[in-house]
Each structure stands twice: as C-alpha cells, then as structure tokens.
C-alpha cells in the first residue's frame, strides 16, 4: 500500500496540466504574432506593388488612358482590338516567334552538349563550370552595349570585322538592315553567351543524379557511345530537359533588353529599329506615346500568349506527371 501522504494529489495534477496548457497557449499565440510581424512587410509590399499594380493595369487596359494612369473613360476591349489591328505589333509577334523557334533549340543543344563534355572531365570540372556560369551574372544591358560598341560595331576596327579581315572579308554593318539581316548573328550570339552556362549547370545537375549502375549495366550489354547516350543518358534527363525547354520558351518570349539596347535610335546607325519584340513595342507605346491603356492591353495579351504556350508545352511533354 502507498502511504496516503505519497499519493499524487488530484487538485495539484489538474493545476500542473492547466499551467502547461496555459504556457503552450501563450507560446503558440506569441509564435503566431511573431509570424504575422515578420511576414506582414513582405505581404504588404506584394499586395501594393505587385497585385494591386496588376489589377490597376488590367483596369487601365479597359479605359482610355493617355498621358495619365488615372482611370477615366471606359472603352472595354477597344484597346485590345486596336493593338491586334496594329501591323507593327503583329510584326513584333512574328519576330518573337522566329526568334523563339531558333534560339530555343540552339541554346538547348549547346547547353546539353557542354554539359556532356564538362561531365566527362575528371579534373578542373569546377573551374569549367564556373567559367561557363560567370556570363549569367552579367547584365543584359551591359552585354548588349559590349556587343554593339565593341564586337559588332560595324567599323573595320570592330572585333568581328577585324577577325573577318584576317580571312579577306570586307567590313559589314552588323546592326543595319542588309540582305541577309546580319543582326540575327548579333542577337543569337549574345543570347547564347548569356544563357548557355546557366542551362548547362542544370543539365550537369541532372547528369550527376543518374545512377552509375545504369551505365555499368548498359556497358555489360555492350552499349557504348551513342547507344549509352540515347538509351540511358537522355531518358534519365527527361524531366530536366522538359524544365529547361519551358524556361527557354518563357525567356525567349520575354526578350527585351538586347533588342532595345542593340537597336535603340541613334546608336546602331539606322535611326529606327529594324526589328523589335512585343515588349519593345509595348514599351515604346506606353512610355514613348504615353498610351498606357493600349500598353496595358498588350501586356496582358503577351502574358496570355506565354501562359498558353507554356501550358501547351507542359501538356505535350508531360511536365509534372508523377511516376515518369
């Protein structure tokens, strides 16, 4: 028998449980308060400068907003009709489609090829990876000005014309409208230099995740070289490849800095830009002509185009499907 004095007192036990519950309640309440205080500035900033701005832009696309962002005369979908009827905007859409159709597969192939080469290197892999990744930290504006004023400036002393002169080629105006339009060489080389390293690192991460046992098993079956690439490497890189393609499509449709800075008036020698993307056209419409209604309508049209292409690509490639 346990002495009566040693038995736990029910009232004391209830008081202890009540005290612990109170401490837990105060701790939970203080934790929620701390969470609110820490996240409130970010949420307020997002609400004011992102979601409110998006909503206001949508309202502007439905109103006659010239020279002011104040909501005024409502015109419904007239801004969208005006923009779609604009030949310059339709030409910019064709330009970005052609640019996307070329730059996406070229960047994909170059990134994958570099990743395969760097992955085979046993010594100095980190140095090579860093060397190819460094250009991604360079500003598009700075790189565009470097390409325009140094590499492809059209002068005999420009790097491209200087190298061409070693092989007997005459100096050419790279950024002017000639036949064939050589400015595409400038655009493609600039975009490749800026982007290849980033996507190469993504492919390297995918290659390092491939189990070596698969290669060993394929080698025992006599697979070498191309058969290893098509039978093991590429299938195991499927998810990485789909993600890279999606990022490349989005980045291509959002092209702005290189087109605007390479062909800005007064610097390329053409006076007017020979080629422009939808973003450049909308920037000139909204900031140059101060037609914020049409500019906002174009922003939403371009967003719908990017979302539509991304959804179609995800549907075709099976992006996000589990167990594949």
pLDDT > 50? residue 269: no
pLDDT > 70? residue 239: yes
Q: Across residues 243-252, what is the average pLDDT?
A: 91
Contact 69, 225 (CB under 8 A): no
Least confident piece of the model among 88-97, 179-188, 224-233, 306-315: 224-233
Per-domain boundaries in the chain: 4-61, 78-317
pLDDT > 80? residue 99: yes
Q: Across residues 110-136, what is the average pLDDT?
A: 86
Least confident piece of the model among 8-17, 47-56, 149-158, 159-168: 8-17
The pLDDT of residue 169 is 82
**66: helix, coil or strand?**
strand
Separation of alpha carbons 227 and 223, rounded Å: 5
Separation of alpha carbons 303 and 297, rounded Å: 10
Preceding omega of 180 cis (within 30 degrees of 0): yes
| Backbone dihedral angles phi then psi of residue 237, each to the nearest 5 degrees | -95, 15
pLDDT > 60? residue 270: no
**291: helix, coil or strand?**
strand
Q: Across residues 33-44, what is the average pLDDT?
A: 84
Q: What's the CATH superfamily of 78-317?
A: MetI-like (1.10.3720.10)
Q: Could you give the residue ranges of the DSSP H alpha helices within 139-291?
A: 140-146, 159-166, 183-208, 212-220, 226-228, 234-236, 238-253, 257-262, 278-283
Separation of alpha carbons 214 and 127, rounded Å: 27
pLDDT category, 289, cuts 50, 70, 90? confident
Separation of alpha carbons 295 and 115, rounded Å: 40
**292: helix, coil or strand?**
helix
pLDDT > 90? residue 107: yes
Preceding omega of 140 cis (within 30 degrees of 0): no
């Amino acid at each position: 028998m346990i002495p009566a004095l040693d038995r736990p007192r029910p009232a004391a036990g209830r008081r202890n449980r009540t005290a612990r519950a109170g401490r837990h309640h105060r701790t939970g309440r203080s934790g929620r308060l701390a969470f609110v205080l820490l996240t409130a500035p970010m949420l307020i900033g997002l609400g004011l400068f992102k979601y409110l701005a998006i909503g206001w832009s949508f309202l502007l696309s439905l109103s006659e907003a010239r020279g002011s962002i104040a909501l005024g005369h409502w015109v419904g979908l007239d801004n969208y009709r005006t923009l779609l009827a604009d030949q310059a905007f339709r030409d910019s859409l064709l330009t970005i489609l052609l640019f996307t159709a070329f730059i996406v597969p070229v960047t994909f192939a170059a990134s994958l090829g570099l990743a395969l080469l760097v992955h085979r290197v046993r010594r100095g892999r980190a140095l090579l990876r860093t060397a190819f990744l460094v250009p991604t930290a360079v500003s598009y504006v700075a790189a565009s000005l470097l390409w325009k004023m140094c590499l492809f400036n059209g002068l005999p002393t420009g790097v491209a014309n200087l190298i061409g002169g070693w092989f007997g080629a005459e100096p050419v105006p790279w950024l002017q409208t000639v036949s064939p339009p050589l400015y595409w060489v400038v655009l493609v080389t600039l975009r490749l230099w800026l982007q290849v390293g980033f996507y190469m690192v993504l492919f390297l991460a995918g290659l390092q995740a491939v189990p070596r046992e698969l290669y060993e098993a394929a080698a025992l079956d006599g697979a070498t070289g191309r058969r290893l690439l098509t039978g093991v490497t590429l299938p195991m890189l499927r998810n990485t490849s789909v993600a890279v393609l999606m990022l490349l499509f989005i980045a291509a449709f959002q092209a702005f800095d290189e087109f605007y800075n390479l062909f800005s008036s007064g610097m390329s020698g053409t006076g007017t830009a020979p080629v422009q993307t939808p973003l450049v056209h909308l920037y000139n419409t909204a900031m140059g002509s101060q037609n914020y209604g049409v500019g906002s309508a174009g922003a939403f049209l371009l967003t719908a185009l990017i979302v539509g292409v991304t959804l179609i690509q995800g549907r075709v490639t099976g992006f996000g499907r589990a167990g594949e």
